[in-house]
Copies of this chain bind each other. A is one copy, B any other.
Amino acid sequence: MSDTAVARAAVVQAAGDAKADSKSEQAYAFIKARIVEGTYSPGYRLVLAKIAGDVGFSVVPVREAIRRLEAEGLVKFERNVGATVSGIDPTEYLYTMQTLSVVEGAATALSAPLIDATAIARARAVNEEMRQCLEHFDPVRFTALNRDFHSVLFEHCPNPHILDLVHRGWNRLATLRSSTFRFVPGRARESVREHEELLQLIERNADAETIERAARRHRSATLDAYLAQAPGTPKKISNSQEEKQ
């Protein structure tokens, strides 16, 4: 019940942000926010009528919102059955990370020439804070900062299609939250170091291919770390590019 109140508040706020979005848009933002933030965790059953009641709309806009979320991979929808927040199994994790390594690498390379010194300084500050999170064992904040860091790197990507794909990948990963996938021991520390390397490449105006390779490897290394320590590793398809050279 207080759930409902919170829901409405969120909707009102969302509506305020973007003038007069359609209800379907509001429902979309509402549900998506809850999935990404974790209120609706993987496996959560999204019953149309219930959510419709929560947001105060009828089922039609809610249904449309859910279908959109399905297209983005955040929700799994089964005909005549219903929708659930899509968990991510090891295979899905692999697919998502691999895809992200490709599109994020490209986005970062395309962004690089457009990143100014201020942004670099900002990213470096974020990375420094991440390093401190490591020492204070604050994985939640670490994760949030990690997204901030990479946002700086790819947010200037001049190709909106690619940028959109990157955001989708991050959102999908966000549903993991603190699951077993994240935080492979030792990987976080390496990650911070690689961030600094990336920043230096960008500062030096390294060529696009070098930056792309570094950015891609940064991500696929996380995937590889997971695969190395995973118990039932799924079929090996992670022939990550840079491994071979």
Contact = CB atoms under 8 A, between A and B. Distances in A.
B239 A165 contact: no
Contacts of A159: 94-95, 98-99, 237
A163 to B, nearest CB: 10
A22 interface: yes
B209 A162 contact: no
Contacts of A165: 99, 165
26 contacts: A64-B64, A67-B68, A71-B71, A73-B161, A95-B159, A95-B160, A96-B161, A98-B159, A98-B161, A98-B162, A99-B162, A99-B165, A102-B102, A102-B106, A102-B162, A113-B239, A158-B237, A165-B165, A207-B245, A208-B239, A208-B244, A209-B241, A209-B242, A209-B244, A209-B245, A212-B241
Interface of A: 22, 60, 64, 67-68, 71, 73, 79, 94-96, 98-99, 102-103, 106, 109-110, 113, 158-162, 165, 207-209, 212, 235, 237, 239, 241-242, 244-245
